A and B are shown apart, each in its own frame.
Chain A
Amino acid sequence: MEASTTPQSGTAGKMKFVVGGLLIVAAVIYLIVSSTQAGAQYFLTVDELNAQSQDVIGRDLRISGAVIGDSIEYDPQSLNLTFTVAHVPGDNNEIEAQGGLAQVLYEAVNDPERTQLQVVYNGVKPDLLRHEAQAIMTGQIGEDGVFYADELLLKCPTKYEEAVPEQTGT
């Protein structure tokens, strides 16, 4: 018979691995849950923000909208940037149904009835910020109804492959 110098095997040995594994899983779950609570941002359209504005004051929000070029005001000295965005539907299916993102953005900035939102941001004006661009802003809505953005993201323009290019002379 072999002398028993080997460490415990069988179910007892397996247990410590199961427990160890569960501990890691628990740690990961804890990390995910706590970080989600700390970092969750509500993704709203301009219309939705308008409807819920009182409820979401003070919360971290992420808003998407179509930039109205004329409204862009930028002071390069103080890096104060303000502009207005128009409501753009958030649902991709709705966007597709209305003719694609480029079409939707075009309509949003030209529709006088569209809900608009004023945005204030302090920082370098992004290169992509221009008329009909889609802006995604993270920040908070103030009591004054103005959106104070901490972060400003503009959608990469490879999206805007023109459906119909300019005419050529014959």
Chain B
Amino acid sequence: MIANIGYGILFITLLVSIYGVGAAYYGARKNDPRWIESARLSMLLTFPLITLSSLSLIYLLVTGRFEHQFVQSVTSSSMPIYLRVTALWGGQSGSLVFWSWLLAAFASSVTLRKWDRDREFLPWVIVVSLVTLAFFLILVVFFENPFTRFWQLPGGDIRAAMFQPQGSSLFLPRDGTGLNPLLRHPGMIIHPPMLYLGFVSFVVPFAFGIAALVTGRTDDRWIRITRRWSLVAWLFLSLGLLLGGRWAYDVLGWGGYWGWDPVEIAAFMPWLTGTAFLHSVMIQEKRGMLKRWNMVLIILTYSLVIFGTFLTRSGVLSSVHAFAQSAIGPLFFAYIGLTFTISLALLLSRWDELKAEGEMTSLLSREALFLLNNLLFMGILVVCFWGVIFPLISELVTGQKVTVGPPFYERATAPLFAGLLLLMGIAPLAAWRHSTFKTLGRTVWKPSLISLIVPVYAFIRGIHQPAALLGFWLAAFVAFVTLHEFWRGARARAKRSGENLFTALWRLAGRNRRRYGGYIIHLGVVLMAIGIIGIEIFQVETQGTLAQGEQITLENYTLTYNSLAVFDTDDGRNVARAVIGVEKSGDYVGDLHPRRDYYLDSQQPMTIPGVRSTWEEDLYVLLVDWQPVSTNSATFKVYKNPLVNWLWFGGLVFIFGTLVAAWPDRDPEPVPVRKKKSSYAAAEA
């Protein structure tokens, strides 16, 4: 009953969406506000409809109605209620419903804003949003239906279907399979929603971009409207990526945080174009340049968002994440192809109107450096895309499937990332319009020299790897330049207003949140870079089997295997938990408890490391195996991960900076009216 209601509502929502697309298009063509208003209302209607449908699905999940195929596959009776709710995005069909719900929510909230100045955008924003929504609803309604139930046919076979087959009766399984234990970690619970939030919210700036192309309003109005949307979308996407990395480190037990897995890359690619977009739009706002770039970047971000969703859902590429094969692969492919082609066609039709309002004259000007920024991000994107696509291409061309692994990505992107790091330090120092090697050199040489202290110090302390030294130098350089920007701005303001330095700094950042929030983000990136250099270049490991009381050493750490307890828990796990005494340079610093959980219902083991975290490093211990009865010995794998907590702390600073940048300004922003060149010429003549 509930399933029928839930499914029926989704079908109605699909019809409403299609109607909305038609009404908006017709209203825009005929310039009839009534049709456009009707479309806007249908857009608003989709949100309560999908909410109802999602609630009915959640109801089925929470009450353990295992006769429904989706419920049976992602929940089990031993799962607590809150986990059953989160199981909504634990499987393919449920997560598509979730995606649709988020899109309906965002698109609806966009339609609720004041449209007075931008009336002509509205119908096209509705069209783009509803076309996207309709696509996902088609997937759910016709191909990945979470409301299908199990029916027992007269012959005894079990079949899953939406509507009752002839002569069959409802089949009730004893229990559900349950969510994979690996997905029950708190980080894993919010990682998919964060990514989806990021993906879905990028649809909004894209919709406005398309609206700008269609209506010919190719000035920066569409960018100003969606400025906060883009930033918030980017915030969620960044958060999703950070959470994924943290989860991998905490739970997957291989001592790392990023594996260059195709699905990780799938979420990373829209982040790359999104970051480039966030920077590039500043140039359009300030100097009316890079307009074509911004269109290309937002179109790419949208396509990559859909492509990212496609990669995690279609099984096209082999990946540890890949979900089950289904018919939706070709559908995604067709949709991406179609929307990308139409977007490009629109862009080409407005190509001349997107001409830059000024001219870029100097390779070292701030504008040119932002252009270089775009190129570097695109370069990294191309590397990632190539790596992901390569197996498919090689198979097509040579008949042989060839893949590339992490070494490819690391080797190819490292110089590009280093370039970006360098830009973060140089760009704030570069002047607008005209800048020569000399003028730029004058501002750059001092911070370069001062930051040289860091790699020199590192060298003295025994670090000789050139990559690490260069990385530390760049990090110090960027940190110095960025902090100096705060200092310079605060001091100038304090002089003018007579405030003390701290008040000046606070007010300064408050008045210019985007800029100073951005600088905080850059500082976060610097910290993350330091953490990455530490763990990537300086990680050491050892492994060994110990009898109780025996010790193992890793550099200055001595670990003593004290005891092991094996017990069952209430939530269906059998746990083996070791107690390890840790000594650092001879001093006792505490105990660690690496453990092995074995989930009985899904027969899934999970290795949770015991970790001792300091700013210097992580001591990361895995319980690999044990002999419970005979020898009472156990095998451990020990990692020392230097500086890794700078990565996580840097991530926090990064997120904080984004919040600062995204926070609404106290004063409304003035909208500059830029005089067109032609009117000037007319006035002068």
Contacts and interface: CB of A to CB of B under 8 A. Distances in A.
Contact of A159 (B150, B174, B324, B375): B324
B320 to A, nearest CB: 5
Interface stretch (A38-46, A112-120, A141-149): A38-46
A20 interface: yes
B350 to A, nearest CB: 21
Nearest to B172: A168
Interface string B375-395: 110010011001000110000
B631 to A, nearest CB: 10
Interface of A is mostly: mixed
Contact of B411 (A17, A35, A74, A151): A35
Nearest to A62: B403
Contacts of A90: 401
A34 B320 CA distance: 26
A64 interface: yes
Nearest to A24: B375
B183 A158 contact: yes
Contacts of A101: 324-325
B543 A127 contact: no
A18 B434 CA distance: 18
B543 A124 contact: yes
A2 interface: no
B645 interface: no
Nearest to B177: A162
B625 A74 contact: yes
Given A90-B401, A158-B180, A17 B360 contact: yes
Interface in A11-51: 13, 16-17, 20-21, 24-25, 27-28, 31-32, 34-36, 38-44
Interface string B589-616: 0000000000000111111000000000
B545 A76 contact: yes
A136 B379 CA distance: 29
Contact of A124 (B91, B321, B400, B622): B622
A9 B605 CA distance: 66
A87 B626 CA distance: 32
Given A32-B382, A77-B635, A42 B400 contact: yes
B405 A39 contact: yes
Nearest to B254: A124
A9 B361 contact: yes
A24 B363 CA distance: 13
Contact of B72 (A25, A64, A79, A165): A165
B96 to A, nearest CB: 14
A159 B323 CA distance: 5
A72 interface: no
Interface string B397-417: 000111111011101110110
A155 B180 CA distance: 13
B412 to A, nearest CB: 4
B635 A76 contact: yes
Interface in B241-281: 253
A25 B379 CA distance: 8
A64 B528 CA distance: 35
A36 B411 CA distance: 9
A25 B173 CA distance: 58
Contact of A42 (B362, B402, B434): B402
Contacts of B360: 13, 17
A167 B368 CA distance: 67
Given A39-B407, A43-B402, A92-B315, A8 B324 contact: no
A96 B324 CA distance: 10
Interface residues of A, number: 61
A35 B174 contact: no
A157 B386 CA distance: 27
Interface string A118-138: 000000110110100000101
A8 B360 CA distance: 10
B318 interface: yes
Contacts of B325: 92, 95-96, 100-101
A13 B626 CA distance: 70
Contact of A157 (B180, B371, B376, B637): B180
Contacts of A21: 375
Contact of B324 (A44, A138, A161): A161
B408 A35 contact: yes
The CB with the most chain A CB atoms within 10 A, among B160, B183, B407, B412, is that of B412
B158 interface: yes
A165 B602 CA distance: 13
A156 interface: yes
Contacts of B183: 158
B554 interface: no
A6 interface: yes
Given A39-B407, A43-B402, A124-B622, A156 B322 contact: yes
Nearest to B598: A127
Nearest to B255: A124
A28 B316 CA distance: 26
Contacts of A27: 379, 415
A76 B624 contact: yes
Contacts of A64: 318
B91 A32 contact: no
Contacts of A32: 382-383, 386, 412
Given A28-B416, A74-B625, A159 B322 contact: yes
Contacts of B403: 40-41, 43, 62
B605 A127 contact: yes
Given A35-B412, A124-B543, A127-B607, A8 B361 contact: yes
A156 B320 contact: yes
Given A76-B624, A92-B316, A165-B72, 16 more contacts: A7-B361, A7-B434, A13-B360, A27-B415, A28-B379, A31-B383, A35-B404, A35-B408, A36-B404, A44-B400, A76-B627, A127-B604, A156-B321, A163-B160, A166-B173, A166-B174
9 smallest beta-carbon distances between A and B, as pairs = A76-B625, A39-B408, A43-B401, A35-B412, A76-B635, A168-B174, A28-B379, A165-B173, A161-B73
24 contacts: A6-B434, A9-B359, A13-B361, A17-B368, A31-B413, A36-B404, A40-B402, A43-B400, A74-B625, A76-B625, A79-B635, A92-B315, A100-B325, A124-B253, A124-B624, A127-B253, A127-B607, A155-B318, A156-B321, A158-B324, A161-B73, A165-B66, A165-B174, A168-B171
Interface of A: 6-9, 13, 16-17, 20-21, 24-25, 27-28, 31-32, 34-36, 38-44, 62, 64, 74, 76-77, 79, 90, 92, 95-96, 100-101, 124-125, 127-128, 130, 136, 138, 151, 153-159, 161-169
